Amino acid sequence: MSVFRPIFRRSAAVVAAVAALTAGMTGASAAEQASAASPRTMPAHVFAPYFQSYRPGDPAALAKESGASYLTMAFVQTEEPGSCEPLWNGLPETPISASVYGKEIAKLRSRGGDVSVSFGGGAASGLGTDIADSCTDVSRIAAAYEKVITTYGITRLDLDVEGTSLNNTAGVDRRNKAIALVDEWAKRTHREVQFGYTLPSSPTGLEPNGKVPLTNAVANGADIDLVNIMTFDYWDGKQHDMAADTFTAADSLVATLKEIYPDRKSKQLWGMVGITEMIGLDDYGCCGETGPPEIFTLADAKAVTKWAGEKGIASLSFWALGRDNGDCPGVHDGTCSGVEQSEWDYTRTMRSFTHR
């Protein structure tokens, strides 16, 4: 399985772009900041594509333009291994603060939408800056989760664990212990907080190390509400029907969840399932590999959206909102899908999934 996203390198150009973006956000009014910090429950069945926070852009403006009312904002990580401070993209220039994205989240909420926030990702795994890998103090990891929850008033955190992070058993254990602490805090403060794991998958389901965070969560008394599988980047050189492979991967996930949560009924288990696709060409189509490219087409998007509604899964997503355009046919890129399409075609196909 390849890294979910290319390693994010803190180039001078990126730092400058992020700094400029942050400068434009510091004018959030007190009312807007209060709105951003007002907790709201996510829909039981939500389409929430990923917003690449390391690229310049206004999530509220993109949500309005595309019609995606709900977003998964990625990623929060530490600046360097050993740190316990959560930062957008690991950059001190973008702290967890109402002055960074508070105004945009308020605008999105004023239109009836909302966000979840994602910790980790492929870059954090490669750099050792996933907070549970980086920070060895469980209470400080929990405090970081709580800081994001209270700063933005969110009710769902996405924990994207992949690559070397999946094999860091100490980090896996710290992460779940921190979740259990946040669960206790949420009960004391009368908050609703949901945690979801985003994990790599093959067409036949989770790899053995993908099960470890879930079994460890049960051992630590950590409540996991959502298990979101990344149904792409199989890197096996085989021909793939990406929609059909999504269906088999999800079937296998539900069977795995049944082993871990034997008292839950089938409907409840399907209600824990999340699916994240990579629209157009995924990473296997980027670099001249031997074998056919992995391409998630618009026809696949239509089929998966219909299937997701029929199965009653919890979450449908894709990487990433900023790629939902046809600006680079035949090329894998972080800013376009690599297939011929009109702008926002994938979002317009999949957004109908959201319902209470």
Owner of token pair 């590999």: 289
Using DSSP, state whether 77 is helix, strand or coil.
Answer: strand
The structure tokens listed for 280 are: 């157009």
The structure tokens listed for 315 are: 């979450």
The structure tokens listed for 89 are: 């993209």
How far CA 66 is from CA of 101, 148, 277, 321, 342, in Å, comes to 18, 26, 17, 8, 11
Residue 183, H or E segment? helix 169-188
58: left (phi over 0), alpha (psi -120 to 50) or beta: beta
Owner of token pair 């510091």: 26
Spell out the long-range contacts of 268-271 with Cβ–Cβ below 8 A and sequence spacing 24 or more: 270/311, 270/312, 270/313, 271/44, 271/312, 271/313, 271/314
How far apart, in whole angstroms, are the C-alpha atoms of residue 278 and residue 138? 32
Query: What are the structural domain ranges in the chain?
Result: 12-353
Confidence at residue 121, expressed as pLDDT on a 0 to 100 scale: 97
Side chain identity, residue 8: F
Confidence at residue 15, expressed as pLDDT on a 0 to 100 scale: 43
> CB–CB of 237/284 below 8 Å?
no
Find the largest Cα–Cα distance for the chain. Answer: 55
Q: Which CATH number is correct for 12-353, 1.10.10.10, 3.20.20.80, 3.40.50.2000, 3.20.20.10?
A: 3.20.20.80
Confidence at residue 20, expressed as pLDDT on a 0 to 100 scale: 43
Confidence at residue 17, expressed as pLDDT on a 0 to 100 scale: 42
The tens place of each residue's pLDDT in the chain, 356 residues long, gives: 233 333 333 333 344 444 444 444 444 444 444 444 455 689 999 999 999 999 999 999 999 999 999 999 999 999 999 999 999 999 999 999 999 999 999 999 999 999 999 999 999 999 999 999 999 999 999 999 999 999 999 999 999 999 999 999 999 999 999 999 999 999 999 999 999 999 999 999 999 999 999 999 999 999 999 999 999 999 999 999 999 999 999 999 999 999 999 999 999 999 999 999 999 999 998 888 888 999 999 999 999 999 999 999 999 999 999 999 999 999 999 999 999 999 999 999 999 999 98
Neighbour count for residue 13 (Cβ, 10 Å): 8
